[in-house]
Amino acid sequence: MHSTRTAPLPTEQTPPPAPPDGVAAEKPASVRPRNRITWAVTTLAALGLIAFLYFGRPVLLPIFLASFATMTFRPVMRWLEVIRIPAPAGAALVMACVLTLVTLSFVRLSHPAMQWMKDAPIHVDQLRQRARSLLALAPRFNEAAAAVDKLVSTAPEKAPAASSKAPTVVEVKPPAAGTGWVTWTSAFLELTVATIILTYLLLAAGSRPLEKLVTMTPTLRGKIQAVEISHEIQRGISDYLFAVTLINFSLGLLVGAGLALLGVPNAAMWGVCAAVLNFIPYFGPYAGILLVSLVGLLNFPNFGTGVLPGLWYLLLHLLESNLVTPVLLGRRCLLNPVMIFISLIFWTWLWGIPGAWLAVPILVAIKVACERIPRLSAVAELIGR
């Protein structure tokens, strides 16, 4: 009887033994250093970008301002192209209209603004007297105000007696008059001229610079996709900025008209301030409401009438922020309030007042770009509401 031998079955690789309970499985040693290197490189790149934005402000700020101004006027340029006006001539026409409007507004409103700033000490005294008259309604507040006035009136009389024992002469040399003002004015003029020239060149060039930059993509499919994405991003940002500009202009017009009907002097100046301040989220509108409220209290003797200008401004702001802007822009352009506040703090620290104006447009540009790039869709969800 022959014994048959069965062929041995192929042995399967046995998996490594599972770790005991309560002990996490260790990652391969080659993965941990790579993750640490990636986080380190990302952190260094972010810090380097922030330093580049901060120290490159004289060069980057005109580029950012001109780019967003170009996107704001892009719908007007598209309309001029429809009626067969060449891009250079259309850009010149748009810039001429904008500069004329800004110049006329400056000439018309500069004198009232300078006069109001010159009379600021008088306004402060008037507000102090109004506050005292309001505090006098309550006896306790009246006694506290009298005590404060007594301390303030007696403090200057005691100061010479205490200092008569050891007289000292301190000579303070003031800085050169006008040095800081001249430096600030020069920097502002340089920024303004550079922004105007660059805005005209970008409007006259149209979308050609962006298309040429996109053609650097190596593959044909990548070039086509990059061109489509760039056009969508540019159109989305330009429509948003144009709509926001119209909303803020209309808000300023309504604020100025209401203040004029209420009898507030220089109503046009406060309307322009409302339109400009509304570009700065949170702080801008409420700073304007505070200013208009103080102006109303200064110009009307009755407290009930004096609060009407501030209430009118507040009512328009609430309608604009909660009804008009969401309806006109749609839910796609709504942003997370926390991200808006963080962006405002960051860009104000980085670039000052121009950075505060650019905080929301930059955030919108990032959101629109991330929506068009599948890998960055999570960032768009984080920025959006």
| Residue-wise pLDDT tens digits, 304-347 | 788 889 999 999 999 988 888 877 776 556 778 888 888 889 99
For residue 332, the model assigns a pLDDT of: 57
In the predicted model, residues of the chain with pLDDT beneath 70 are 1-36, 113, 115-116, 118-182, 207, 209-220, 222, 330-333
Q: Report CA torsion sign: 48, 51, 56, 57.
A: positive
Q: How far, in whole angstroms, is CA 41 from its chain's centroid?
A: 29
Alpha-carbon distance values, 371 to 30, 64, 67, 236, 341 (Å): 34, 21, 20, 11, 21
Sole residue written with tokens 């704001």? 72
Token pair, residue 16, equals 């490594």
Token pair, residue 355, equals 């950075």
Distance CA 246, CA 61 (A): 24
pTM value is: 0.67
Distance CA 2, CA 154 (A): 129
The SS3 of residue 2 is coil
For residue 177, the model assigns a pLDDT of: 47
For residue 1, the model assigns a pLDDT of: 47
The SS3 of residue 140 is helix
For residue 164, the model assigns a pLDDT of: 47
Query: What whole-number percentage of the chain has pLDDT above 70?
Result: 67
Token pair, residue 165, equals 């024992």
Which residues are registered as beta bridge partners of 384? 335
For residue 156, the model assigns a pLDDT of: 47
For residue 314, the model assigns a pLDDT of: 93
DSSP alpha helix (H) spans, 56-138: 57-82, 87-118, 120-135
For residue 252, the model assigns a pLDDT of: 92
For residue 100, the model assigns a pLDDT of: 92
